Amino acid sequence: MKALPLVIFAIVALAQWAAPLSQIWTHEQTLTQGTLIKLKCSAPDPYDPLRGRYLAVRPEQREASVPAGLKLESGTRVYATLTSGADGLATISSLSLTPPTSGDYIRVNVGYAYESKATIEWPFERFYINEKLAPEADEWFAENIRTSKGIIAEVRVLNGRAVLADLSLDGRSFREILKERVK
Amino acid sequence: MNTSHHRWLLEQLPKWESEGLLTTDAARTLRERHAVDASQPGAAQIIMGSLGALLIGTGLITIIGFNWDDFSRPVRLVFAFLPLLLSQLFSLRVMLRGDATAAWVRETAALLQALCTGACIALVSQIYNLGGEWPDFLFWWCLLSLPLVWVMKSSSVAIFYLIGIAEWSIHQVWGHQPWHASPMIYPLLLLGLFPFWPGWKLDRPLSITLRWVMTISAICGLCAAAHHATRMHFAESWGHFEVTLWQWVLTSAMLALFPLSSSALDATSRHKPQVILGFLHLLQFGVVATFLDMGQELAKAVREAWQVPWTWVLIAVIAAFAVHAIFRRRWAVLSVASIAITPVLALVMGETAQAVLPWLMTLHLSLIGITLIVLEFTGRRGAPRLGAALLCVLIIARMFESELSLLTKGLAFIVIGVAFLAFNICMSRLARQKQLPQS
């Protein structure tokens, strides 16, 4: 057995581990050290053949103001500063091409820009759920998505990276509510 | 002869020897000449091994899809990495055993590892609720699986990779992709398979299945690249699809002219899918271009296509391949590939190009049809039946376009049909006469 194929195999095997491990590392950092941000959202219930059922999470805020003099194009990566209101829900207060020096911010892509506004592509869009709970989750969403309280996406934010940690309604975790409903 | 033919022949030899049909020396010579390389898996072995690996891999992905959210995150991560680790250990064992391992086991191990890699990435992204698009996932999955093709000499992972990069290229046509995330890099991705064949002489022969998959993948990838290049050049404005269509014709010419070694030239047509598929597309384009209505669209498309750099890349590659084809005396292939260049010749006529083009194409196709027939009768490599069929199609096309009465058209079709059948019979007799002196 020649050594070169074994060396290449070892590198491949390490790369196959490194790709998911690097994802785990950055997302664990965000989950454990990131600031909790709450966003009001809307969501239907689609399916991914590889990763199973998920709720497509869409924060209500779809566009933000573009500061004067900042020229944005479709696909540009910008930093969105998040500011929490009196109700505890966060909104994008400003956009910039460089990371802000203070406050919580996330990296987002610009969908398209027009006049002084730009549509935002949020960096999270899916919340995966157990196949057994999916039909109940679907119903729960339909019942609550248009209520005044609405469904809240709880997102951990660190150094521009965002990880969707949970969904909640009236301060209670979505999974807890679903498990009670299924019983 | 393919591997199954060799195997059949080797199975018959002992019987023929015992019946006295063959001497021991003749049987030994045949055994040496038609030896089957045991390290190369048979099609059935690959299919069975791949099917087993596919079922296990799909099973893992489906179990992942259930989403075991009763377990903690670390436990679910162990679920993600355990199959990958086991498949890697299996592959390592197969590699260490070397030639002692059956070919189908090697194929199964490689494909299983590739599938477990995809399942692991999918599960991690499920656990962390990562978004991401299917093409991005597919791209990284393919790249992480590619080295398995080299080190484990796996045909099934090569097929997976070829399908994967073709699918990725088609997805990337749309949107605002920079060049390094667009189908323009498809040729580089295809070159990634190069170490699969050791040495510059490409010593490892390709199976027919792999040849066909590679050709279809190349068609998808290169056509996607052409479409993307045109879209980007014209800043996505509408009305330039004809430019892409002509670039696809140039791509077909390039594939048909792809350089072949002397032994590959002597192989049967089904060993050369790039020639078959290239011919089909070029001839279909040629016949469509003979219709008078098409002249204007085509002339406009060719004029605009010169502005797109991808067209120049295609022309340059075609020129290089054509020179090689001339040295190899591939006259039939050269004559059919020249269909792609006919619209350019029409442009020489300036403003009248759109009126001239259909007639020029008709003349060109007629000459090709006659050439393919004449080549055969002058002892060179021709394609008389294809030539005759081409002439028939041309006459039928002109009949459809003409304003002759239905009776005249009907009679003409009957005459053409009879002439075609008579030609076929003549060719069959000629082929039989050629075989007689040898037997």
B122, part of any domain: yes
**Average of per-residue pLDDT across A162-176:** 83
Q: Helix and strand tally (H, E) in chain B?
A: 19, 0
Q: Nearest-CA neighbor of A29 among A175, A162, A176?
A: A162
**CB-CB neighbors (< 8 A) of B91 in chain A:** 9
Residue B41 C-alpha, separation from nearest chain A C-alpha, in angstroms: 20
Looking at B81, B114, B131, the residue that finishes a domain is B131
* pLDDT score, position B40: 57
- DSSP letter, residue B290: T
Query: Can you give A117-135 as a three-state secondary structure string?
Result: EEEEECCCCEEECCCCCHH
Secondary structure letter of residue A54 according to DSSP: E
Q: Which value does ipTM take for this structure?
A: 0.74
The reply to whether residue B80 touches residue A23, judged by beta carbons under 8 angstroms, is no
Specify the amino acid at residue B211: R
Domain-located, residue B261: no
Instruction: Give dist(CA B347, CA B356) in Å, integer.
Output: 9
Quick check: helix, strand or coil at residue A162? strand
Instruction: Find the helix or strand (DSSP H, E) in which A36 lies.
Output: strand A35-42
How many residues are given for chain A? 183
Please give the structure tokens belonging to residue B40.
């190369």
Residue of A nearest to B88 (CA): A13
User: For chain A, how far is it from start to end, CA to CA, in angstroms?
Assistant: 58
C-beta of residue B279 within 8 angstroms of C-beta of residue B332 = no
Q: Which residues of B touch A (CB under 8 A)?
A: 61, 64-70, 77, 80-81, 84, 88, 91-92, 95-96, 98, 113, 117-118, 120-131, 137, 140, 144, 147-148, 150-152, 176
Report the gap between the CA of A159 and the closest CA in chain B (Å): 17
Return the number of other C-beta atoms located less than 10 Å from residue A125's C-beta: 19
pLDDT for the residue A19: 87
Domain that holds residue B421: 404-439
Q: Which of A114, A118, A123, A121 is nearest to A94 (CA)?
A: A118
Residues of chain B positioned with their CB less than 8 A from the CB of A13: 88, 92
Question: Which residues is A64 bridged to in the sheet?
Answer: A118
Number of structural domains (chain B) is 2
Q: What does the alpha-carbon distance between residue A137 and residue A182 come to, in Å, rounded to a whole number?
A: 10
- Please check whether residue A125 touches B, CB under 8 A: yes
Q: Which of A125, A108, A155, A124 is nearest to A56 (CA)?
A: A125
Residue that is written with structure tokens 């779809």 in the block: A62
More reliable by pLDDT, B400 or A159: A159
Per-residue tens of pLDDT for chain B, all 439 residues: 566 677 778 878 888 888 888 888 888 888 877 776 655 556 666 677 777 777 777 777 677 666 666 677 888 888 888 889 999 999 999 988 887 778 888 888 999 899 899 988 888 888 888 777 788 889 999 999 999 998 888 888 999 999 999 999 999 887 777 788 889 999 999 998 887 776 566 666 778 888 899 999 999 999 999 999 888 888 765 667 888 899 999 999 999 999 887 777 777 778 889 999 999 999 999 998 888 888 778 888 888 888 899 999 999 999 999 999 998 888 888 988 999 988 888 888 877 888 888 889 999 999 988 888 887 777 776 678 888 888 888 888 888 777 778 888 888 888 888 888 888 888 888 777 766 655 4
Q: In chain B, what residues touch A23 (CB-CB under 8 Å)?
A: 121, 124-125, 128, 130
Q: Which residues of A touch B126 (CB under 8 A)?
A: 51-52, 128
B338: in domain: no
Query: Which sign, positive or negative, has the C-alpha torsion B259, B264, B268, B273?
Result: negative
* CA distance readout (Å), B64 to A52, A127, B123, B133: 7, 15, 6, 18
Q: Report yes or no: B389 and B368 within 8 Å, Cβ to Cβ.
A: no
Give dist(CA B300, CA B159) in Å, integer: 39
Q: Does residue B69 fall inside a structural domain?
A: yes
pLDDT for the residue B439? 46
pLDDT confidence of A170, banded at 50, 70, 90?
Answer: confident
Q: Is residue B301 part of a domain?
A: no
> Is residue B111 in a domain?
yes
**Residue B33 domain-assigned (yes or no):** no
Instruction: Give the per-residue pLDDT at B435.
Output: 65
Q: Which of B83, B114, B131 is the last residue of a domain?
A: B131
Partner-chain residue, chosen from A16, A48, A52, that has the shortest CB–CB distance to B117: A16
- Provide the H-helix boundaries in B192-341: 208-233, 241-256, 262-266, 273-289, 294-305, 309-327, 331-337
Tell me, what amino acid is at A97? Answer: L
Positions of E strands within A43-181: 47-48, 52-56, 58-59, 63-65, 77-84, 90-96, 104-114, 117-121, 126-128, 151-158, 161-169, 172-173
CB proximity A27 to B under 8 Å: yes
| Option in A8, A24, A175 nearest B69 (CB) | A175
The CA-atom distances, in angstroms, between B349 and each of B246, B353, B363, B379 are: 19, 5, 16, 37
Confidence band (pLDDT; 50, 70, 90) for A52? Answer: low
- Contact at CB, A127 and B84, closer than 8 angstroms: no
Spacing of C-alpha B392 from chain mean position = 27
Which chain A residue has its CA at the smallest distance from B122's CA?
A51
- Give the pLDDT score at A26: 85
Least confident of A55-69, A83-97, B24-38: B24-38
Q: Nearest Cβ partner of B150 from A8, A19, A126?
A: A8
Report yes or no: B103 and B40 within 8 Å, Cβ to Cβ. Answer: yes
In a domain, B307, yes or no: no
Last residue of a domain, one of B107, B131, B155: B131
